[in-house]
Amino acid sequence: MKNKKLFIQFIKFGIVGVSNTLLTAGIIWILLKELHCSDYFSNLIGYIVGLINSFIWNRKWTFESKAKVSVTVFKFILTFAISYLLQLGNLYLMLHYTHIDPYFCQLLSIVVYTCINFGLNKYYTFKTNAE
């Protein structure tokens, strides 16, 4: 039963993650390519929209969290901040030390963010005492 619940959470996290990645990437693309905003501004706005979307879906649907919203929000924002800063550092390095297209750098940085964020959310933000 425990493995089934973990598997279902993983699938739900994946669905939220894919939709969130598409939303974040779409916002970044619109800001970069259509509105000609800076790489960093586009990145920040894309991730803020993604953060809100991810919190709502993961809290209510993926992990069905019953914890106080204030505590969960704090942990979620801390998890986001750590994940975001690490991906932003990756983005900076790629933009300044490679010749990779800036939008592709954004996509690769999303992968970095997603991997870090999954681990932190699973084992810190939405961790239950039974885990």
Question: CA 50 from chain center: how many Å?
Answer: 7
Predicted local confidence at residue 7, as pLDDT = 85
Predicted local confidence at residue 129, as pLDDT = 57
Structural domain contains residue 46: yes
Cβ(103)–Cβ(40) below 8 Å: no
Structural domain contains residue 130: no
Give the count of domains, the chain: 1
Structural domain contains residue 131: no
Predicted local confidence at residue 49, as pLDDT = 95
- Between vectors from CA 89 to CA 71 and to CA 42, what angle results, nearest 5°? 80
Predicted local confidence at residue 79, as pLDDT = 94
Regions of the chain where pLDDT drops below 70? 1, 128-131
pTM for the model: 0.71
Domain residue limits at 15: 2-125
Predicted local confidence at residue 70, as pLDDT = 85
Which amino acid, one-letter code, is at 88?
L
Q: Is 98 helix (H, G, I), strand (E, B) or coil?
A: coil
Q: Kindly state the tokens that stand for 13.
A: 């996290």
Q: What is the pLDDT of residues 72-108, one digit of tens each?
A: 999 999 998 999 999 999 999 999 999 999 989 989 9
Q: How far apart are the first and last CA of the chain?
A: 13
DSSP for 7-18 reads HHHHHHHHHHHH
